[in-house]
Structure 1
Amino acid sequence: MQRAQKKSLFRQRSTLIAGLIFLTVVIWMLSGALDDPETTQSEETAIEQADEAMSVRVLESRRQVIQDQVMISGRTLADRSVAVKAETDGVVRRMNFERGDRVAEGDLLLELAMESRDARLLEARSLLEQREIDFRGAQSLYRQNSISETELAKARAALESARAQLKMAVLEAERTQIKAPIEGDIETRDVEVGDFLSRGAPVATIVDLNPIRVRGFLSERYLNQIKAGSRAEVQLVNGSTREGEVSFVGRVAGAATRTFPVEVLLDNTDRTIIEGLTAEITLFAGELSAHRLPSSMLTLADDGTLGVKGVNEADKVVFYAVNVVRDTPEGVWLSGLPESVPLIAVGHEFVSAGQRVETVPYEGLEPPGERE
């Protein structure tokens, strides 16, 4: 019995001692934290930093009037391409051209053998002479009332028929000489000396490369902004750039792409531009107002909206949603901004809308968006 009481008393004393020790440690830790000058200073610094406005560099951006542009891809085409064909039957007697030759309109390309055409031409001329004599005689007899008016009309009809026959014979003889219908370059040659050509057989293809056409396809979004006569600029695959004007805007969309054909004419007097080259076409539309800024100033809102950050009169950050109207090596042209607005050029990544900031003028050597 006494032994059990001693054990109970020992447990109570142990618990009391442990509680006193724990309480002493807690009091020591609290007193140390409260009295630690470094901890107190850190807390005060954090509060001061929270209240201090962040410094950002700001530039004053102004709206500028520019000419709207539409850029499409295209391909060069010859202004004209003519397939020369035989207009009569015959054997090729002589040829005056090779592929790659440059010809003028009316140049003789080849000759067909005359064969019986000379005889038919001589016969037609002889017949005409006879009919002219007959008609003069009929006129004399008619004035003498020796023949009727009907017989005079028959003589006149015979004369006109002989004239028509001669004209047909001359035309048939001329068709043996095949001439260039346009000025241009010989692209294909389809015959050789000695070949027999029937009417309609291909002889050659002539392409006219001056002016040169550049064809592309325009989205319906821009159809009403581009018209025949509009200024255009074409950059060729070799890096050269030519200026021209729109010569044609289609009014029927392609079934597959739902785009409209557009053609630009370029001067090609030196004929250095050939058919089939890839080209980038810049079409100049109407005027629009926009700000030019470096792409580094663009940012995204939490919902993914593209925009830039500025500062209002209360020195608080404002987010402006924008649309990119043109992207150039000198910067991006943006719409959706006020006519003149202070924008954050440096530091916009570290501030958010509604935050108070301290503004410092942008002191770059070349302010963004102001280069010419």
Structure 2
Amino acid sequence: MFKKLAASPVFIAIIIAVVLLLWLLSGDNYSAKQQPPAEQQIAAEQLPLVETRWSQASPYQLTQVAQGHIMPWRNVSIKSQQAGTVTELLVQQGDKVAQGDKLLRLSDEGRTALLKQAKANLTLKTDELASARTLGKAKFLSATELTRLESELAKAEAEYQRAQLALSQIQPIAAFNGVVDRRHIELGDVVQVGTDLMQLVQIDQLKVSAQIPQQHIAALQQGQAVKLRLLDGRELSGKLSFISYTADTATRSFYIEVTVPNPELWRIAGGSATVEVQLAPVPAHFISPALLSLDSTGNLAVAVVNEQQQVEFYPVQILSATNDGAQVSGLPDRVQIITQGAGFVKAGAKVQVQLQTQAAGTKA
């Protein structure tokens, strides 16, 4: 029976298969004893895959925005310096005047006569002193008498000047080029010293005041360009002309003034406007707000891939934001920004990179 089984082709095939299996196993075992196991490597396919795009920083014009109050460049109330009756009105409300123009005239009230008297007295005292000095040289006049005459001449000069001033003050004049904005008196009114007569303003140049928070004042410098935006959309350009050296104790903000030309004499003095101070440009990247995330410290950050193909999170500051995207600072000038997959990787992780394909002119 055994001889028949041994002669069977099936039995012979099984014996040959067993022998081959034993030979193969003995070869693998020998190879394992002679060679160390190969170092295990992570397949490239196992690295996280992120999509990126290259971004180049561009200069971005920073602006400091504040609410401002528009004022005339000059605003003076013309008051009466003499008592009298208004006998003539030389200008009306809204009239343009030049520096030195007469605005009105008050009654004389004897001032012309007083000036003539003061002038005659001055001439007399001048002649008396001249004669006394001649006598003094000849020793016919004492030094005391000469001093008295000099004193009287000085008094006469003062009276003459006062009379001149009083006569000139009955015709008030414009202190600068401007516009008569108000007239407070009418023809025939009796005025006293200190009575308001007219309001004179200069509006061909304006002064705009605003308050700037203390944390932004270091970025301001005199001479910086300023844009003034009015409530109706009109715009004017000016320059930062003054920055206060001390902050307001209540608000901790600093007072600034802006000089703004107003050649068309727009009626905007006394109103409000938005003040935009043009600061020095800074490098910024335009990105989608969806790429912003919070880092471990709670600050806004953007995920990027460095030269070692590792993930980094850069803290950034939003400079401006619109529906299309945001301008941010804090990134290197040229950087590879992760546009897809940033939420699945950590800082320091090595990643595979796939460059984003997008049409020219689109924003990530």
TM range (shorter): 0.7 to 0.9
Cα distance in 2, alignment partners of residues 70 and 83 from structure 1:
35
Partner of 2:242: 248
Contact in 1 for aligned 2:50/2:338 (Cα 8 Å): no
Deviates more, 1:157-166 or 1:256-265: 157-166
Superposed CA RMSD:
3.1
- The answer to whether residue 353 in structure 2 is matched with residue 364 in structure 1 is no
Relative to the length of structure 2, the TM-score reads 0.76
Paired positions, count: 317
Deviation at 1:151, TM superposition (A): 2.2
Letter in 2 for 1:94: E
Cα distance in 1, alignment partners of residues 161 and 313 from structure 2:
84
Q: What is the DSSP-based 3-state SS (H/G/I as helix, E as strand, rest coil) of the residue aligned with 1:251?
A: strand
Partner of 2:101: 107
Could you report, residue by residue, the CA deviation over 1:79-113 in whole angstroms, capped at 9, with x for unpaired residues?
Answer: 11111111111111111122222211111111110
Partner of 1:59: 53
Cα distance in 1, alignment partners of residues 158 and 196 from structure 2:
29
- The answer to whether residue 308 in structure 2 is matched with residue 275 in structure 1 is no
Deviation at 1:208, TM superposition (A): 1.2
Contact in 2 for aligned 1:78/1:207 (Cα 8 Å): yes
Could you report, residue by residue, the CA deviation over 1:286-324 in whole angstroms, capped at 9, with x for unpaired residues?
Answer: 453332224354345698653334455687776544221
Cα distance in 2, alignment partners of residues 138 and 312 from structure 1:
102
Cα distance in 1, alignment partners of residues 133 and 254 from structure 2:
67
Contact in 1 for aligned 2:49/2:341 (Cα 8 Å): no
Partner of 1:24: none
Q: Using a 3 Å threshold, how does the CA distance of structure 1 residues 78 and 362 change in structure 2: closer, same or farther?
A: farther
Cα distance in 2, alignment partners of residues 187 and 305 from structure 1:
54
Partner of 1:219: 213
Letter in 2 for 1:169: A
Deviation at 1:63, TM superposition (A): 2.8
Relative to the length of structure 1, the TM-score reads 0.74
Letter in 1 for 2:344: S
Contact in 2 for aligned 1:309/1:348 (Cα 8 Å): no
Partner of 1:307: 301
**Aligned mate of 1:260, from 238, 254, 260:** 254
Q: What is the DSSP-based 3-state SS (H/G/I as helix, E as strand, rest coil) of the residue aligned with 1:366?
A: coil
Cα distance in 1, alignment partners of residues 181 and 165 from structure 2:
28
Could you report, residue by residue, the CA deviation over 1:10-31 in whole angstroms, capped at 9, with x for unpaired residues?
Answer: xxxxxxxxxxxxxxxxxxxxxx
Contact in 1 for aligned 2:50/2:341 (Cα 8 Å): no
Partner of 1:327: 321
**Aligned mate of 1:142, from 133, 136, 140:** 136
Q: What is the DSSP-based 3-state SS (H/G/I as helix, E as strand, rest coil) of the residue aligned with 1:160?
A: helix
- The answer to whether residue 47 in structure 2 is matched with residue 81 in structure 1 is no
Partner of 2:114: 120
Identity among equivalent pairs (%): 26
Cα distance in 2, alignment partners of residues 281 and 329 from structure 1:
23
Deviation at 1:55, TM superposition (A): 7.5
Letter in 1 for 2:345: A
- The answer to whether residue 123 in structure 2 is matched with residue 132 in structure 1 is no
Partner of 1:173: 167
Deviation at 1:126, TM superposition (A): 2.2
Cα distance in 1, alignment partners of residues 171 and 313 from structure 2:
77
Contact in 2 for aligned 1:186/1:205 (Cα 8 Å): yes
Gaps of 5+ in 2: 1-44
Partner of 1:205: 199
Deviation at 1:261, TM superposition (A): 0.9
Cα distance in 1, alignment partners of residues 133 and 320 from structure 2:
84
Q: Using a 3 Å threshold, how does the CA distance of structure 1 residues 293 and 152 change in structure 2: closer, same or farther?
A: same
Partner of 1:353: 345
Gaps of 5+ in 1: 1-49
Cα distance in 1, alignment partners of residues 50 and 140 from structure 2:
123
Q: Using a 3 Å threshold, how does the CA distance of structure 1 residues 195 and 157 change in structure 2: closer, same or farther?
A: same
Letter in 2 for 1:275: A
Q: Using a 3 Å threshold, how does the CA distance of structure 1 residues 316 and 160 change in structure 2: closer, same or farther?
A: closer
Letter in 1 for 2:360: L
Deviation at 1:337, TM superposition (A): 2.2
Cα distance in 1, alignment partners of residues 106 and 359 from structure 2:
78
Deviates more, 1:181-190 or 1:287-296: 287-296
- The answer to whether residue 176 in structure 2 is matched with residue 185 in structure 1 is no
Contact in 2 for aligned 1:293/1:333 (Cα 8 Å): yes
Cα distance in 2, alignment partners of residues 348 and 204 from structure 1:
72
Deviation at 1:233, TM superposition (A): 2.4
Cα distance in 2, alignment partners of residues 294 and 104 from structure 1:
57
Deviation at 1:242, TM superposition (A): 2.9
